[in-house]
Amino acid sequence: MGLKQKPIPAALTPFLEGKVLLLDKPIGWTSFNMVQKVRGLTRVTKVGHAGTLDPLATGLLIICTGKFTKQIDTYMGMVKEYTGSLVLGATTPTYDLESTPENFKSITHLTAEQIQAARIPFIGEILQMPPQHSAIKKDGKRLYESARLGIEVKVDPRRITIHSFEITKIDLPTIEFKVVCSTGTYIRSLVKDFGDQLGVGAYMSGLRRTKIGAFNVDDALQWEDLQKEIDLLLSQAE
Residue-wise pLDDT tens digits, 222-236: 999 999 999 888 887
Burial class (CB in 10 A: 0-12, 13-18, 19+), 207: buried
Do the two domains 10-77+214-237 and 80-212 of this chain adopt the same fold?
A: yes
How far, in Å, CA of 54 to CA of 204, rounded? 12
How far, in Å, CA of 223 to CA of 220, rounded? 9
Q: How much is the pLDDT for 1?
A: 44
Please say if the pLDDT value at position 112 is more than 80: yes
Q: How much is the pLDDT for 61?
A: 98
Residue 17: pLDDT band with limits 50, 70, 90: very high
Give whole-number Cα distances, 224 to 12, 136, 157, 212, 229, in Å.
Answer: 17, 31, 39, 22, 9
**Domains of the chain, residue spans:** 10-77+214-237, 80-212
Q: How much is the pLDDT for 198?
A: 98
User: Does residue 54 have an active-site annotation?
Assistant: yes
Burial class (CB in 10 A: 0-12, 13-18, 19+), 202: buried
Q: For the domain made up of 10-77+214-237, give the CATH fold.
A: Pseudouridine synthase (3.30.2350)
Instruction: Give the contacts of 133 (CB within 8 A, at least 6 positions apart).
Output: 93, 94, 95, 98, 99, 143, 144, 147, 148
Annotate 1-19 with three-state secondary structure: CCCCCCCCCHHHHHHHHEE
pLDDT tens digits for 187-228? 999 999 999 999 999 999 999 999 999 999 999 999 999 999
Note whether 20 and 212 are within 8 A (CB).
no
φ, ψ dihedrals at 22, nearest 5°: -100, 115
**Per-chain mean pLDDT for the chain:** 90
* CA nearest to 41, candidates 16, 76, 72, 22: 16
Catalytic residue among 24, 54, 96, 193: 54
Domain 80-212 homologous superfamily, CATH = Pseudouridine synthase (3.30.2350.10)
